[in-house]
Structure formats: C-alpha cells, structure tokens
C-alpha cells in the first residue's frame, strides 16, 4: 500500500485552491487559488493579446496618451492650410478650380467630428463663394 506524503494538494472539494493533506486525511486548512501574475513590459499575454490588469509596481494599466491638438484636428487644419494656399494661387494666377479642394477636406473633417471642422468648413465655403461669385 502506498501512502501519499503530507503536503498541499489541489482541493478535492473543487475550490481551485490547495488543501492540506496530513498523510491520512484532509485537513481544514485551505489556501486560496493562485492569482495570475502580471506580465513584464513587452511580454505578450496568452493568446497574443496585451497583458491587462495591474502593472508589476501595483499601478493601474497605462492610459493612452491624450491626442494632441493637431491630431484631433488634422483634416480641419489641412483644410485651413489648403484654403490659404488656394487664396495665394487664386490671387497670383487667377485659377479658381482649386477653391473646391479645401471644401472637400473640410467636409471630411465634419464627418470625423473634429472640433475645428465647422470653422474650417466656413472658411472653405467663404473661399468658394469669393472665387466663384466675386
């Protein structure tokens, strides 16, 4: 007959933790189930995902850096810059076809819901009106 030596073994009650076996019977001592260990920076979590949860020093998961003003308004600022370029082209050469380009870019900014979209669209529309009506 073989006897299992005393020690901590998986709980036969199904708690997920470990229960003490004294060599003859299960004891009342129970250890909690082990908690997952945080992955070190740069290590991939199981299944290729990012390692969620607290970081090794106990802080919360890192928050994404807030977007800069230029990134939040990329299409709007592009439309405004194109409007300036179109004004310079229209004044120096008389070409008015380019006046539509800032309007199309400004419409894209409105669709992206950028904070500066409506002012950019206003400037672009004013440019179109100035070049085609005046």
Does residue 17 belong to any structural domain of this protein?
no
Domain that holds residue 128: 70-133
Does residue 3 belong to any structural domain of this protein?
no
Sheet holding 7-10, edge to edge: 7-10, 18-21, 26-31
Does residue 107 belong to any structural domain of this protein?
yes
Does residue 50 belong to any structural domain of this protein?
no
Does residue 61 belong to any structural domain of this protein?
no
Question: What is the full per-residue pLDDT of the chain (134 aa) written as tens digits?
Answer: 567 888 888 888 888 888 888 888 888 888 887 777 776 665 555 555 555 555 444 444 555 656 788 888 888 888 888 888 888 887 788 776 677 788 888 888 889 888 888 888 888 888 878 777 76
Angle between helices 74-93 and 100-111 (to 10 degrees): 170
Does residue 74 belong to any structural domain of this protein?
yes
Q: Radius of gyration over alpha carbons of the chain, in Å? A: 33
Does residue 91 belong to any structural domain of this protein?
yes
Joined tokens for residue 13: 């009650």
Sign of CA dihedral 115, 67, 50, 39: negative
């Amino acid at each position: 007959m073989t006897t299992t030596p005393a020690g901590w073994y998986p709980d036969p009650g199904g708690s997920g933790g470990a229960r003490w076996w004294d060599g003859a019977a299960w004891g009342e001592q129970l250890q909690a189930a082990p908690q997952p260990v945080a992955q070190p920076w740069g290590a991939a979590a199981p299944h290729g995902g990012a390692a969620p949860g607290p970081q090794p020093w106990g802080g919360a998961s890192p928050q994404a850096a807030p977007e800069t003003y230029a990134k939040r308004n990329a299409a709007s600022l592009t439309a405004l810059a194109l409007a300036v370029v179109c004004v310079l082209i229209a004044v120096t050469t008389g070409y008015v076809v380019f006046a539509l380009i800032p309007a199309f870019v400004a419409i894209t900014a409105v669709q992206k819901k950028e904070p500066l979209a409506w002012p950019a669209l206003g400037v672009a529309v004013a440019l179109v009106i100035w070049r085609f009506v005046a």
